[in-house]
């Protein structure tokens, strides 16, 4: 954590003492922190002068219409002896692999008597399919090509489901936005759920899997741009799918050229001077 802050743009806050330990503190608001996965965030860390180990960490993050998040991590204990037996996992007999990303999407509605008629063999089969799909999602995620096409596919998904774009492209926001949309009452969300109802269990799982991976591809592409210091910017808070001339997203591709995705998801390469003019255009 200390190295991550020092590798970003940061400010030294000087030395002080916490619980009798001399510490040096640093602060960063650099969007590159944690490879951009946290979005806009304010992080402070106090590290012991003698060991360079964290003594206290504070994280502040605000999201529009979602309030303010303040996290404090303290009372660290380092080099504490532990028994190896404590690391032995205790797995309940009824445990099945979870599907946290897929669980944000609506399930196919079962028939009225399905729960009462399902026998143990059918339940085992269902669990096996869920585990298989979890592994499939992991494999597909690793094999996915993360590029401009993946980003446009993800943006198109949100435009079709909600007639708007996500407010930000860090992964927590994308997951939250996708969950809100597909569980909402809009016509696109209802159509999404109706589509699932007409599918078999496996078809529905694959459909939801593709949906989640599209959102992931968008977030991972933007995160890659941040990591590679491509000077990316995203304007989903204000740009809509109808804004043909507005810059929705852009990143640097050469010393004097930027790749731009407009509100209508048209993409083209422009000079830095042309980009500056485009970003001056007022929203109608």
- pLDDT confidence of residue 140: 61
What pLDDT score was predicted for residue 277? 92
Is 210 within 8 Å of 195 (Cβ atoms)?
A: no
Q: Please report the domains of the chain, with CATH numbers, ordered by start residue.
A: 2-73 (2.50.20.10), 95-112+121-227 (no CATH), 229-284 (no CATH)
pLDDT tens by residue, 261-270: 999 999 999 9
- The count of C-alpha atoms lying within 13 angstroms of the C-alpha of 141, restricted to the half-sphere facing its C-beta, is 16
What per-residue confidence (pLDDT) applies to 117? 55
DSSP 1-67: -HHHHHTSS-EEEEEEEETTEEEEEEEE--TTGGGGTT-S-EEEEEEETTT--EEEEEEEEEETTTE
pLDDT on residue 251? 95
Which residue, among 242, 239, 243, 248, has the nearest Cα to 267 in the 3D structure? 248
Pair type for strands 267-271 and 42-48: unpaired
Least confident of 76-85, 123-132, 266-275: 123-132
Q: Rounded mean pLDDT of 15-43?
A: 83
**In contact, 12 and 46? CB cutoff 8 Å:** no
Q: Check residue 120 and give its pLDDT.
A: 66
Instruction: Note whether 181 and 158 are within 8 A (CB).
Output: yes
The tokens of 42 are what? 């304010």
Q: What is the pLDDT of residue 85?
A: 86
CB 188 within 8 A of CB 163: yes
At 29 the pLDDT is 87
Taking the whole predicted model, whether its pTM rises above 0.95 is answered as no
Going from the C-alpha of 254 to that of each of 73, 230, 249, 259, the distances in angstroms are 41, 9, 16, 9
Specify the residue for token string 């640097």: 252
| Cα angle 177, 182, 186; round to 5 | 105
Least-confidence region, from 12-21, 116-125, 192-201, 237-246? 116-125
Alpha carbon distance 105, 182 (integer Å): 6
Q: What is the pLDDT of residues 233-260, one digit of tens each?
A: 999 989 999 998 999 999 999 999 999 9
Query: Reduced to 3 states, what is the DSSP secondary structure of residue 261?
Result: strand
């Amino acid at each position: 954590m200390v190295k991550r802050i020092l590798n970003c743009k940061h400010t030294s806050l000087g030395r002080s003492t916490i619980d009798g330990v001399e510490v040096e503190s640093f602060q960063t608001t650099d969007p590159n922190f944690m490879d951009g996965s946290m979005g806009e965030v304010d992080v402070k860390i106090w590290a012991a002068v003698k060991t360079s180990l964290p003594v206290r960490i504070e994280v502040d993050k605000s999201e529009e219409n979602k309030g303010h998040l303040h996290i404090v991590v303290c009372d660290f204990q380092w080099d504490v002896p532990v028994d190896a037996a404590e690391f032995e996992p205790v797995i309940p007999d009824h445990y099945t692999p979870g599907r946290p990303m897929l669980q944000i999407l609506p399930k196919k509605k079962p028939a009225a008597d399905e729960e009462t008629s399902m026998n143990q063999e059918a339940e085992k089969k269902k669990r096996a399919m869920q585990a298989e799909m979890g592994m499939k999602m992991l494999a597909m995620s690793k094999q996915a090509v993360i590029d401009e096409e993946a980003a446009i596919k993800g943006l198109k998904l949100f435009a079709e489901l909600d007639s708007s774009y996500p407010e930000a492209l860090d992964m927590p926001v994308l997951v939250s936005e996708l969950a809100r949309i597909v569980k909402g009452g809009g016509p696109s969300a209802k159509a999404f759920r109706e589509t699932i109802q007409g599918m078999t269990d496996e078809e529905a799982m694959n459909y939801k899997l593709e949906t989640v991976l599209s959102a992931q591809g968008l977030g991972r592409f933007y995160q890659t741009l941040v990591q590679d210091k491509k000077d990316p910017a995203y304007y989903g808070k204000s740009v809509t799918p109808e804004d043909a001339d507005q810059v929705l997203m852009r990143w640097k591709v050469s010393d004097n050229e930027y790749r731009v995705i407009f509100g209508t998801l048209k993409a083209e390469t422009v000079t830095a001077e042309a980009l500056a003019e485009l970003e001056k255009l007022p929203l109608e």
